[in-house]
A and B are shown apart, each in its own frame.
Chain A
């Protein structure tokens, strides 16, 4: 069974502060990990994927297989980063099913 855990329901930081949203996973094979973002009352959007090793909107995430983690980080938070963030996992290949974590609501205060 695949499972994604986001331990923080809410995270509040001040503008300019570093932010880290935690994600841990459980999967027996080689998973693919993603971060999705949902701004207020909008549809989900893919933020980044671990295989791309890219930085989107200043966010990065590194897959740590030893710790089974995929934490999302940004060195300097902006007010427009306030949103719901979901970590998601798939089994890879033709396994199209995504398992989502319960989400973390990030609030960046001015």
Chain B
């Protein structure tokens, strides 16, 4: 198993540009989530999904969209990038009957918005 994969690893955007951060897992996990990590702020939940076709907002959802058309993929879309979205983004997944401590984290995407 590849586990949780994220692409790209690094990305630089200009203000106003849009892009999609990709997240995939091959463990057939039902629960997936996106966090952003900022210095001095810890990890904050952006959006999460409890299964294909079901998504919900986390703590800081503004400026981000998600969809879950398949169990494997959970892309995060930035519609109009802003410098405040400069951050490291982590995707995570959990087995359907798993516990939150069994979260598998991806390697992260480092995004810079100029």
Contact = CB atoms under 8 A, between A and B. Distances in A.
Contacts of A43: 90, 105-108
Contacts of B68: none
A95 B100 contact: yes
Nearest to B41: A102
Contacts of B98: 96
Nearest to A34: B101
B101 A100 contact: no
Interface residues on A, range: 20 to 34
B44 to A, nearest CB: 7
A86 interface: yes
Given A43-B105, A43-B107, A100 B42 contact: yes
Contact of A100 (B31, B43, B94, B107): B43
Contacts of B45: 97-99
Interface in A77-95: 86, 88, 90, 95
B97 to A, nearest CB: 9
Contacts of B44: 100
Contact of A97 (B58, B102, B106, B107): B58
Contact of B40 (A98, A100, A102): A102
A101 B99 CA distance: 19
A46 B101 contact: yes
Interface in A52-94: 86, 88, 90
Nearest to A9: B40
Contacts of A102: 40-42
B42, B45, B58, B59 pick with most chain A CB within 10 angstroms: B42
Contacts of B31: 96
A32 to B, nearest CB: 7
B50 interface: yes
A97 B40 contact: no
Contacts of B50: 96
Nearest to B104: A43
10 contacts: A32-B99, A32-B100, A43-B90, A43-B106, A46-B102, A46-B103, A86-B42, A95-B100, A96-B48, A96-B50
